[in-house]
A = this chain, B = another copy of it.
């Protein structure tokens, strides 16, 4: 008789598989207030590693971290008309503080363009102060009617970058740089997630932006997930907040701005990109634990061996955890590490010791084989790099095999039932986009014929990527 599966199989019910995995791998719980989440240590460890890798790339792009208040006066939001229209329905409002009703209610930030511009308008005086490149790691709140852990939560954690530039070109280039060199590089190189870099249509743009660049990825069920966005804000917020500078020519000029964000939603993307019916598979470059060394039994010799192997692998620069909790059955621990998606398990029992070997179990391609203990330190870094590459290949092949080139709206809608469609934007247009939206299918982004990011919605040869999305 077959064992009952640990998780609902993906093929049976993908959303339930996703929720099962999050529970069983102890990634997160639902919070008590609707739509909030508790990120458990193993889930938070994934986010911490994402932060480290992203933060280094953000700093390489010249931005410095800062922190702006959680509470924004309601009046700030209303200064940029499109912005308030976009966010008003999702706001959480504090009306009571320190035992009294507040004179002016304050909103809990849904994003920080407004409050940051209030300060940029003080800090920026001259062209010498530009570009001003700021990033913040923070929590934000957007009231969610249909929450789903990591993907759409009332409170989430993110980084939001905000910059001010002297010229349109400089702002445009910086938004593109973040899109490509921070987000694109991180997602491809560390998360091993295939992302399409494109441009949002007018309908899908950020509230207050003149252009939104996006990174879209195909999840295991063929739906799309927006993994991050980088916006050109033009001078919209600069006008609303009078953010201006004295140019070299002695003129007062409005700044040009960008903002860009990526969030704990990426953890959801990681799960739905790389997870399988046995649990998560964490890309080795991201993993906080790349290798777990398991004692199969509690003999002294075995315990001494796993600790020694652990030390040797740590010394080789790997991120290692030793699992010597032999009062819990080995099988249960092995299943747990599978669920958590640790890339490599090194399993050591008394018989292995006699042979001078350990069992090497690889989570990403699957499979187990005995390896001489003395060879582990040299072998594992190669294994991990192979597995990192394999995840990216699998992610890319999924998108390629499940994307159809189509010419009609009906074909696009049909393709979106199981994957993505590519349709010339000249064949779709805003009207076709609206028609698809009625069926729950959206234009994820526009890409140029050669796959690059288009300079305009209507650039000749633009292709719309169309899908159902999270």
The residues of A with any CB-CB pair to B shorter than 8 Å are 29, 31-33, 36-41, 43-45, 47-48, 64-73, 76, 88-99, 105-106, 108, 115, 118-119, 122, 128, 134, 138-139, 141, 143-145, 154-155, 157, 327-328
Q: Are A38 and B67 within 8 A (Cβ)? A: yes
Listed residue (A32, A44, A76) with the most chain B CB atoms within 10 angstroms of its CB: A32
B141 near A70: Cβ-Cβ < 8 Å:
yes
Residue numbers in B under 8 Å from A31 (CB-CB): 68-69, 71, 115
Contact partners of A118 in chain B: CB under 8 A: 32
A413 to B154, CA, bound (A): 51
With A33-B73, A33-B106, A95-B96 known, 20 other A-B pairs at CB within 8 A are A31-B68, A31-B71, A32-B118, A33-B72, A37-B69, A38-B66, A38-B69, A41-B65, A45-B64, A70-B70, A92-B96, A92-B98, A93-B95, A93-B96, A93-B97, A94-B95, A94-B108, A96-B105, A99-B143, A128-B327
Question: A44 to chain B: which residues have CB within 8 Å?
Answer: 64-67
- CB neighbours (8 Å) of A95 from chain B are 93-96
Q: Contact: B67 with A157, CB < 8 Å? A: yes
Provide the bound-state CA to CA distance between A47 and B31, in Å.
Answer: 28
Min CB gap A126→B, angstroms: 10
Q: Pick the residue among B32, B71, B128 that contacts A69 (CB under 8 A).
A: B32
- A296 CB, nearest partner CB in chain B, Å: 18
For the complex, what is the distance from the CA of A65 to the CA of B32, rounded to whole Å? 20
Which residues on the B side are within 8 Å of A98 (C-beta)? 89-92, 143-145
Q: Report A267 CB to chain B, min CB distance, Å.
A: 11
Given contacts A32-B72, A32-B76, A128-B328, contact A64 B92 (CB under 8 A): no
User: In the complex, A92→B455 CA distance in Å?
Assistant: 45
**CA of A108 to CA of B139 in the docked complex: distance in angstroms?**
12
Chain B residues whose C-beta falls within 8 Å of the C-beta of A36 in the assembled complex = 69-71
Interface centre among A40, A118, A138, A145 (most CB of B within 10 A): A40
Q: Which residues of B contact A106 (CB under 8 A)?
A: 33
> Known: A72-B32, A106-B33. Is A88-B99 also a contact (CB below 8 A)?
yes
Can you list 30 residue pairs at the A/B interface with Cβ under 8 Å?
A29-B119, A31-B68, A31-B69, A32-B69, A32-B72, A36-B69, A36-B70, A38-B66, A38-B119, A41-B134, A43-B66, A44-B66, A45-B65, A70-B141, A71-B154, A89-B98, A90-B98, A91-B97, A91-B99, A94-B94, A94-B95, A94-B108, A95-B95, A98-B143, A98-B144, A108-B108, A128-B327, A128-B328, A138-B139, A139-B139
